Amino acid sequence: TLTTNDAYAKGALVLGSSLKQHRTTGKLVVLTTPQVSDSMRKVLETVFDEVLTVDVLDSGDSAHLTLMKRPELGVTLTKLHCWSLTQYSKCVFMDADTLALTNIDDLFEREELSAAPDPGWPDCFNSGVFVFQPSMETYSQLLQLASEQGSFDGGDQGLLNTYFSNWATTDIRKHLPFIYNLSSISIYSYLPAFQVFGANAKVVHFLGQIKPWNYTYDPHTKSVKSESHDPSMMHPEFLNLWWDTFSTQILPLFQHHGLVKDTHSYINVLSDLVYTLAFSCGFCRKEQVSGAMSHLLLGEVPAPPQPSVSSEERKERWEQGQADYMGADSFDNIKRKLDTYLQ
């Protein structure tokens, strides 16, 4: 897989952890760019066998020259580096926003280039999951194509579909079943099919702008919080599974590597304060406080609201036990206020 920042690294960690949970016999390799922080890199090293840094700007090879001509292809060129992993005879690339639901080692029986059809244009393959064979020759041909023609969609999928242009017609064995790239979108665009075939899904791909790590998760109910009109909520079980994997397998690694240690002890102090305050006003149960803690811990706090009532009114409501938990009196705002005192 590939990650270009710390947010996608969370996805990569959950993906790697899901593959291990399903006992893959393959080695796990993640390509990273220099934007990934050192502490995140340490956590990646505990899940992946190899954590490689790819800096297209620094590489001084034809990838760098291509980038000079076509700066829009930055991430695409990084991804192409997977063809240079010639220490391996065959690989499966998986986007960092995918999750394995079962063992998928049978993919290694397929030949380059095997991929699932793209639901948007089924004669193109989707480049989120594909089987390939590392080769410096293919790598340099891909780079040459990139510099001469660019990519028709500006990304790797357009470029790869141009290079492997006979994918749709020459060998049906290179068509991975759609269940290897079950896009979360298909769940609602073709619900009857999902109800029949969804249970066989092997890989789920969280498409779109909002990724699993953008949701807020409640560890007590083991479910993500979301607007009811959010289409992903029709089948939240995949999102909940992603978060369950993240909170049980990955979060302890973050704590172990000090990524959340400071925040954690800080939250403990603050939560005691808030709990004391809340308790003395008699309106808040411990659960509500810990709910707020998990928001903070996972970095998903609601946007600070604009105060619509005067400070006096707020104080009055607070004292009457009518705190605006999700708004003006959210944990985040309380923390911000306490920060100003602590500083």
Ligand X SMILES: *[C@@H]1O[C@H](CO)[C@@H](O)[C@H](O)[C@H]1NC(C)=O
**DSSP assigned state of 304:** P
User: In whole angstroms, what is the distance from residue 91 CA to residue 107 CA?
Assistant: 9
Instruction: Answer with the entry of Mn ion, ligand X, none that 258 interacts with (C-beta below 5 to 8 A by kind).
Output: none
Residue facing Mn ion at closest CB distance? 95
Residue 1 vs residues 4, 13, 98, 134: alpha-carbon distances, Å: 10, 10, 10, 14
Per CB under 5 A, the list member of 13, 54, 70, 97 interacting with Mn ion is 97
Residue 268: which H helix or E strand, with range? helix 261-281
Rule CB under 6 A: which residues touch ligand X? 7, 95, 98, 115-116, 118-120, 126-129, 181, 183, 185, 205, 207, 209-211, 213-214
Answer whether 100's CB lies under 8 Å from 18's CB. Answer: yes
Per CB under 5 A, the list member of 95, 101, 134, 138 interacting with Mn ion is 95
Residue 290 vs residues 94, 263, 286: alpha-carbon distances, Å: 35, 14, 6
Please say which residue, 126 or 240, places its beta carbon nearer to ligand X. Answer: 126
Answer whether 297's CB lies under 8 Å from 264's CB. Answer: yes
Phi, psi of 223 (to 5 degrees): -145, 150
Please say which residue, 94 or 278, places its beta carbon nearer to ligand X. Answer: 94
**Which span sits near Mn ion by CB under 5 A: 34-42, 97-105, 107-115, 176-184?**
97-105
Please say which residue, 115 or 251, places its beta carbon nearer to ligand X. Answer: 115
User: What is the footprint of Mn ion within residues 113-152 (CB under 5 A)?
Assistant: 128
Please say which residue, 155 or 219, places its beta carbon nearer to Mn ion. Answer: 155
CA 240 from centre of chain: 13
Instruction: Answer with the entry of Mn ion, ligand X, none that 97 interacts with (C-beta below 5 to 8 A by kind).
Output: Mn ion
Q: Which of 39, 174, 200 is nearest to 110 (CA)?
A: 174
Please say which residue, 67 or 116, places its beta carbon nearer to ligand X. Answer: 116
In the complex, the residues that contact Mn ion under the rule CB under 5 A are 95, 97, 128
